[in-house]
Structure 1
Amino acid sequence: MPVWLIPIVYTVVSIVCGLVLPRLENAYAVSLDLGVSAAAVLAALSAISSGMMALTGIVLSIAFVMLQFSAITYSPRFASRFARDPVLFHALGIFFATFTYALATTLWVDRAGGMGVPTLSAIGAVVLLFASLLVFGLLMRRLGDLQITNTLRFIGDQGREVIRQTIDAGVARAAAVAGATPAEPVVQLLRHQGPPRYVQAYDMPALVALARRADGVIDMEAAVGDMLLDGSVVLRVLGGTGGIQEAELRRAVRLGSDRTFEQDPKYPLRLLVDVAIKALSPAINDPTTAVQALDQIEDLLRRLARQPLDIGRVADGDGSLHLAFPSPNWSDYLSLTFDEIRVFGTTSVQVLRRLRSALLGLEDLLGGDARGEEVRRYLVHIDSAIERSAFDEQDRNAARQEDPQGLGLTR
């Protein structure tokens, strides 16, 4: 269910309950006399409904501040975390339910001058009020997620999870495939139609089933995270009989207006880099945040460093290749994570020291293999940037020192 429907469901249910429960209470004479006058109950219900309206406005203001803060301080792409947070919409739903239920219950207080007070229904309004206050307190705790440490840890956790799900599963799939993508003729071509959309995920079982049915191979042109424009090639069907229904192919490629973490290990790295380079902008000038982002980046790269990254092949049960899709290699990950931070961080000794520490750590982890050689070439690039920088010789010597804390200990 879309998150924006959550408050509507709460509101509709509360109105129904506010109109039906007092009627049932009156019909079955289920009444509890607490010695409270109808005027007092009416005043209490009116106060609850009007007060909750004001509290709802406060919560909406808090939500707006959270969105603005995350978009300006971290990344506009990260703001969607709060814009789609179910906790926020459930909180709004409970607030809406409280004041609509209280308003509906007031209609039954001393109805027609002789009904008296629907005591149990009035108690329900008080229970909803306390539930709303509890949810409001939990929502205030949610503001702690705006702290930079929590934000970076959240992105890092998402990255570790998508690496575990995507890379580990992809290694098992690719190991079972016999051979590379065949050089078969293109028998079918699928192009995107409509407004620009991001590729969010592949339905791999569905694509494999379609390719097996056509006795061919589906070669994806669009990688997860790519933007598709009108007329862009989405996929090609190689060999076989072709004739797969376009509607079936389109359903197997999920598109959306934003990138997601699902099946996209590059996206959490992209967000971490965004946070780092925004912190390095002259308007913010916070290199320590960039160093903290590099802590998470290095951890994710260490998890990728020893994994086979050529995972873009999927077979059916007998090992025959039926699906191929683009997957990033080690150079792609290095460029994504370090290029922009290197460019924007050349004026910060702290960032350069942390970059060298990350690269030396990866070099030590990889040893003398091809990926380790790429890391060494990148380290030479960093040292060349330090040499060409506007630093004096003393600052250059300081920048050449690797330090996991940036400016912590000379190693």
Structure 2
Amino acid sequence: MALKSRHYSVAAWLIPLLYATAALVVGFTVPRLAYNVLPGLVSTVSVNAAIGIYSAVASGMIALTGIVFSLTFVMVQFSATAYSPRLVLWIARDPVVSHSLGVFTATFLYAIAALAWVDRSGSGGVPLSGTVFVTALLIVSVVMFIFLIQRVGMLQVNRMLIFTADQGREIIENLYPPLETLPSQTSTEITQAPCFQTLLHCGKPRIIQAVDIPALVGIATRNGCIIELVASVGDAALEGIPVLRVLGVGKPIPEDRLRLAIRLGAERTFEQDPKYAIRLLVDIAIKALSPAINDPTTAVQALDQIEDLLNRLGRRRLEIGSFCDAAGNLRLLINFPAWDDFLRLALDEICLYGASSVQVMRRMKALVAELISILPEERHSALREWQRRLQSTIDHSFANQQDKLDASAEDRQGLGSTRRKWSNESPDVHGV
């Protein structure tokens, strides 16, 4: 199973620093080379006009940079209170934000540097290179400004929901095979295999972000053992907590080789963790259902994306935790969530916090009914249990009988059109 790896090797603050350094280097070397090698290559812009243009670009760009990024970070902070701070962090760390800051800073610094070469040594000329570079940087700055506004526009609730669900759809597509694929067969001998090595986490608390499955399978194959990942992707690795166990017989494996196959980080990522996208969507929904916000429509919109993810998961083979070598011998065990785990994550908290909302209950009833109608039979048992649970929640949350009937209806919009079961004998059916 091949997964796309995402590495953030360059810190966000380093990108603007590189732009600034490049602007200073170009600003003081290129004009010098042009002045010494091609002294006659000057711009037609007058000295006074060049000084005015460069000064205006420098002062205007630094002011624009301060205003734009102040507003951007205010919007990010505001959105963090409305959605989830974990989700908004992905938008704030977008490369467009770092590169925009870098381009704006580079334009400011280069305009300052270009001023030093205007009327150099009383030559009365303006280097052509300075005019060309300033013009190019201004054009790039306008383009980056447009991209930045587009990114900030993603903070709208519907776009944020779609962005989050898109991450989940991508990982589901890459991680899980179709439902028609036979489930992996776990050997019954693993419960009898002794554990001769346990890898403990050392250091500060970290999150397990991804696992290099081919590397662990290769290590287990070469050593003739079975590796069991005790902690799941997305779990917190704490000091002294077991991360994996080595089962079988043999010599202990060097710990550094095992640690290199497990990527740790400060926070969860979408890679190899389909639960994370659902977790963020649920966070948005339950925050919208809090008394401070009281926005059940946003919760319904989140349920639209959650239903799509559950629909895709229900059509996939989720039992993928056993990995074998080329000879078919079991080599790696990883704990992946089951269908019941996904349903519990997706519906449990929304059902709890939205129990008194007619709109949310109607949408959840429609969600479960729709999944029953389109997913294979093996998914129905857990879904029918959720049907009973939703009805029980409605019965306990609404004292008025009419409110119970209203909340028990299936409605994909929450409070839109109640789902009707048409029949050929119905007098409301007309030919078209």
TM-score, normalised via structure 1 length: 0.95
Q: Report the counterpart of residue 50 of structure 2 in structure 1.
A: 41
1:260 counterpart SS class: coil
Q: Report the counterpart of residue 3 of structure 2 in structure 1.
A: none
Match of 1:151 among 153, 157, 160: 160
Match of 1:283 among 292, 308, 317: 292
Match of 2:106 among 89, 97, 104: 97
> Against the structure 1 CA distance between its residues 236 and 174, is the aligned structure 2 distance closer, same or farther, given a 3 Å change threshold?
farther
Q: Distance in 2 between matches of 1:348 and 1:195?
A: 42
Match of 1:116 among 125, 129, 137: 125
- Which stretch shifts more, 387-396 or 17-26? 387-396
Give structure 1 stretches of 5+ with no counterpart.
none
Give structure 2 stretches of 5+ with no counterpart.
1-9, 420-432
Question: Would you say the 8 A contact 1:278–1:284 is kept in 2?
Answer: yes
Q: Report the counterpart of residue 20 of structure 1 in structure 2.
A: 29
Match of 2:92 among 83, 95, 98: 83
Q: Distance in 1 between matches of 2:124 and 2:250?
A: 76
Q: Distance in 2 between matches of 1:34 and 1:103?
A: 17
Q: Distance in 2 between matches of 1:31 and 1:133?
A: 31
Query: Are 1:267 and 2:276 an aligned pair?
Result: yes
* 1:37 Cα deviation from its structure 2 partner: 2.6
- Which stretch shifts more, 258-267 or 49-58? 49-58
**Aligned ranges 1:62-73 → 2 under 5 Å:** 62-73=71-82
Q: Report the counterpart of residue 203 of structure 1 in structure 2.
A: 212
Question: Would you say the 8 A contact 2:43–2:126 is kept in 1?
Answer: no
Query: Are 1:126 and 2:141 an aligned pair?
Result: no
* 1:73 Cα deviation from its structure 2 partner: 1.1
Runs of 4+ in structure 1 over 6 Å off: 169-173
Match of 2:416 among 404, 408, 411: 408
Q: Distance in 2 between matches of 1:122 and 1:366?
A: 64
* 1:126 Cα deviation from its structure 2 partner: 2.3
Query: Are 1:396 and 2:396 an aligned pair?
Result: no
1:236 counterpart SS class: strand
* 1:173 Cα deviation from its structure 2 partner: 9.7
Aligned residue type for 2:71 = I
Query: Are 1:386 and 2:391 an aligned pair?
Result: no
Match of 1:193 among 202, 205, 209: 202
> Against the structure 1 CA distance between its residues 172 and 228, is the aligned structure 2 distance closer, same or farther, given a 3 Å change threshold?
farther
Question: Would you say the 8 A contact 2:282–2:346 is kept in 1?
Answer: yes
Question: Would you say the 8 A contact 1:171–1:309 is kept in 2?
Answer: no
Q: Distance in 2 between matches of 1:20 and 1:73?
A: 48
Aligned residue type for 1:5 = L
1:201 counterpart SS class: strand
- Which stretch shifts more, 125-134 or 325-334? 125-134
Match of 1:238 among 236, 247, 254: 247
Encode CA deviations 1:53-110: one digit per residue, 9 max, x unaligned: 1111123213312321331111011022122100111111111110111111111112
Question: Would you say the 8 A contact 2:187–2:330 is kept in 1?
Answer: yes
Q: Distance in 2 between matches of 1:319 and 1:34?
A: 72
Question: Would you say the 8 A contact 1:200–1:259 is kept in 2?
Answer: yes
* 1:9 Cα deviation from its structure 2 partner: 1.4
- Which stretch shifts more, 180-189 or 219-228? 180-189
Query: Are 1:317 and 2:323 an aligned pair?
Result: no
Encode CA deviations 1:129-188: one digit per residue, 9 max, x unaligned: 22212221221122221111111111111111101111129997964x663561211111
Q: Distance in 1 between matches of 2:179 and 2:226?
A: 17
* 1:362 Cα deviation from its structure 2 partner: 1.6
Encode CA deviations 1:269-322: one digit per residue, 9 max, x unaligned: 001100110111111111111111111111111111132211111111111111
Aligned residue type for 1:289 = T
Aligned residue type for 2:219 = L
Q: Report the counterpart of residue 373 of structure 1 in structure 2.
A: 381
Q: Distance in 1 between matches of 2:329 and 2:75?
A: 49
Q: Distance in 1 between matches of 2:294 and 2:105?
A: 42
Q: Report the counterpart of residue 303 of structure 2 in structure 1.
A: 294
Question: Would you say the 8 A contact 2:315–2:376 is kept in 1?
Answer: no
Q: Distance in 1 between matches of 2:329 and 2:124?
A: 76
Q: Distance in 2 between matches of 1:170 and 1:382?
A: 27
Query: Are 1:341 and 2:355 an aligned pair?
Result: no
Q: Distance in 2 between matches of 1:186 and 1:349?
A: 53
* 1:250 Cα deviation from its structure 2 partner: 0.8
1:182 counterpart SS class: helix
* 1:208 Cα deviation from its structure 2 partner: 0.9
RMSD of aligned alpha carbons: 1.9
Question: Would you say the 8 A contact 1:171–1:311 is kept in 2?
Answer: no
Question: Would you say the 8 A contact 2:315–2:375 is kept in 1?
Answer: yes
Q: Distance in 1 between matches of 2:181 and 2:327?
A: 14
Encode CA deviations 1:14-71: one digit per residue, 9 max, x unaligned: 1111111111211122545554332321222122112111111123213312321331
**Aligned ranges 1:354-369 → 2 under 5 Å:** 354-366=363-375, 368-369=377-378
> Against the structure 1 CA distance between its residues 129 and 181, is the aligned structure 2 distance closer, same or farther, given a 3 Å change threshold?
farther
1:409 counterpart SS class: coil
Q: Distance in 1 between matches of 2:391 and 2:178?
A: 37
**Identity value in percent:** 48
Query: Are 1:303 and 2:342 an aligned pair?
Result: no
* 1:407 Cα deviation from its structure 2 partner: 0.6
Aligned residues: 409
Aligned residue type for 1:401 = A
Q: Distance in 2 between matches of 1:295 and 1:36?
A: 59
Q: Distance in 1 between matches of 2:15 and 2:330?
A: 43
Q: Report the counterpart of residue 55 of structure 1 in structure 2.
A: 64
- Which stretch shifts more, 300-309 or 58-67? 58-67
Q: Distance in 2 between matches of 1:145 and 1:400?
A: 34
* 1:323 Cα deviation from its structure 2 partner: 0.6
Question: Would you say the 8 A contact 1:174–1:312 is kept in 2?
Answer: no
